[in-house]
Amino acid sequence: MHVPDGFINAPTSAVTGVAAAGAIAVSLRGARRELDERTAPLAGLVAAFIFAVQMLNFPVAAGTSGHLLGGALAAILVGPYTGVLCVSVVLLMQGILFADGGLTALGVNITDMAIVTTVVGYAVFRGLVKVLPRSRRSVTVASFVAALLSVPAAAVTFTFVYAIGGTTDIAIGKVATAMIGVHVLIGIGEAAITALTVGAVVAVRPDLVHGARGLQQRLKLRVNGELVDAPTAAAPATARTSRRRLWISGLVASLVLAGFVSFYASASPDGLEKVARDKGIDKTAGKHASSNSPLAGYGVKDVGNARLSGGLAGVIGVGVTVVAGSGVFWAVRRRRSTDVSPTAVENV
C-alpha cells in the first residue's frame, strides 16, 4: 500500500507529514516506557522482520497481490509506541534506498501504514484480550482479529486522504469500494502472518511479548496465613541465552525470507497498485527521487542475475533496517535511563 509521489497533492502531503512527525515525536516519548534492556534489541529485529516479510507479496485475487503492513504485529510484540517507530523505520528505508513509496508521500505512508494500523490493531487487540480467557491461545486469536481489521482501516484512511487531496478526478465511491474490497482479502493474509508470528514467540518467550504481559501469574506464598507475591528472582543466564537465541533465529529467518523466499513472491501488483491502475489514479504518479538508487526496485544495480540481484537487495535491506532500528531503540532506551535522576533513585 505504498503511496507513490503524485497521487496526493502537495498541501495534503504536507499536512500528513506534519501529523506523522507529531506522532513519531509522541511515539519516541512513549517508547521510553515500553523499552528495556530485554525488549530494545527485539524492537530492531521486529523492524527487520517486517521489512523482510513485506517483500513476500501473496496472491489474493485474479491479478492482485498483497503484503504485510505490520502495524498490528509490531504493536503486539513490542508495544504501540515502539510499533509506530518500527514501521516508520521500515518505510524510511524503503523510500530512500529502494524507491518504494514516494518521498513526498512519506507522511501519507507513515500515517496510513504505521500509525493507523498500529493504533487500530492494538486497540482491537487490547479490547479482545480483556474479554477472552487469559491464555496464550487468546493472545494469538486476538492478534489474528486485530491484524485482520487493521488493513481495511488503512484502506479507509487512504480513501479519506485521497478524497481530500487526490490528484485525479475519480468518483471517491469507486475508489472506496475497490480499496476496501481488496484490502479485506489482504487482511486475511496479514492476520495469518501476524497470528503465526505472535504465536511462535509467545510459545517460547511470552515475557518478551508486550501484548502478553500479565499472562503469567506471579507465584504466591502463604506467610502467616496471608498470600503474598513471591520475590522475583534475578534473570538467570539461561534467560539471557534464550533471548539471544530468539534474536539470532529471528534475524536468520528475516535474511532467508528476504534473500531467498522473496524470489518466489507474487509479481502481481498489490492492492493499491491494482486499484490505481484500474481507476486511472496512477496517471499522475511522479518519478521517484530515489529511482537511480543502486537498490531501486529491490534489486542490486549491475547484477544481471535476477535471483541473485533480488536476494542481495533483500539481505542488504534487512541488515540496514536492523542496524537503523536497533540504533533508534538503543538511543530511546539510553534516554530512558538518563531520565531517571539520582534523586528519583534515592526516593525509590
pLDDT in tens, 145-190: 999 999 999 999 999 999 999 999 999 999 999 999 999 999 999 9
Res. 44: pLDDT tops 90? yes
Closest CA to 162 of 151, 147, 150, 173: 173
Closest CA to 68 of 83, 50, 84: 50
The secondary structure of 99-159, three-state, reads CCCCCCCHHHHHHHHHHHHHHHHHHHHHHHHHHCCCCHHHHHHHHHHHHHHHHHHHHHHHH
Q: Percent of the chain having pLDDT more than 90? A: 79
The secondary structure of the chain, three-state, reads CCCCCCCECHHHHHHHHHHHHHHHHHHHHHHHHHCCCCCHHHHHHHHHHHHHHHCCCEEEECCEEECCCCHHHHHHHHCHHHHHHHHHHHHHHHHHHCCCCCCCCHHHHHHHHHHHHHHHHHHHHHHHHHHCCCCHHHHHHHHHHHHHHHHHHHHHHHHHHHHHHECCCCCHHHHHHHHHHHHHHHHHHHHHHHHHHHHHHHHHCHHHCHHHCCCCCCCEEEECCEEEECCCCCCCHHHHHHHHHHHHHHHHHHHHHHHCHHHHCCCCCEHHHHHHHHHCHHHHCCCCCCCCCCCCCCCCCCCCCHHHHHHHHHHHHHHHHHHHHHHHHHHHHHHHHHHCCHHHHHHC
The stretch 125-144 carries a mean pLDDT of: 95
The stretch 55-73 carries a mean pLDDT of: 94
Least confident interval from 25-39, 113-127, 167-181, 239-253: 239-253
Cell 506471579 sits on residue: 218
Closest CA to 102 of 7, 231, 229: 7
Distance, in Å, from the CA atom of 236 to the CA atom of 216, rounded to the nearest integer, reads 18
Q: Give the pLDDT of residue 231.
A: 52
Residue 307, CA distances (Å) to 48, 211, 255, 265 in order: 20, 37, 14, 12
Bridge partners, residue 185, by sequence? none
Least confident interval from 105-119, 240-254, 302-316: 240-254
pLDDT in tens, 266-276: 999 999 999 99
Q: Give the pLDDT of residue 234.
A: 42
Domains observed in the chain: 10-215+243-336 (1.10.1760.20)
Bridge partners, residue 64, by sequence? 61
Bridge partners, residue 229, by sequence? 220
Res. 217: pLDDT tops 60? no
225: left (phi over 0), alpha (psi -120 to 50) or beta: left
Cell 498500529 sits on residue: 118
**Inter-residue contact 29 to 339 (CB < 8 Å):** no
Q: Give the pLDDT of residue 219.
A: 45
Q: Give the pLDDT of residue 343.
A: 44
Q: Give the pLDDT of residue 228.
A: 52
Distance, in Å, from the CA atom of 176 to the CA atom of 123, rounded to the nearest integer, reads 23
Q: Give the pLDDT of residue 226.
A: 62
pLDDT in tens, 218-267: 445 566 666 555 454 444 556 677 888 999 999 999 999 999 999 999 99
Q: Give the pLDDT of residue 243.
A: 84
Q: Give the pLDDT of residue 11.
A: 97
pLDDT level of residue 341 (50, 70, 90 thresholds): very low
- State the Cα angle at 135 between 130 and 137, rounded to 5°: 105
pLDDT in tens, 76-90: 999 999 999 999 999
What phi and psi values does residue 3 have, to the nearest 5 degrees?
-80, 125
pLDDT level of residue 338 (50, 70, 90 thresholds): low
Q: Give the pLDDT of residue 342.
A: 46
End-to-end distance of the chain based on CA atoms, in angstroms?
A: 47
Res. 94: pLDDT tops 50? yes
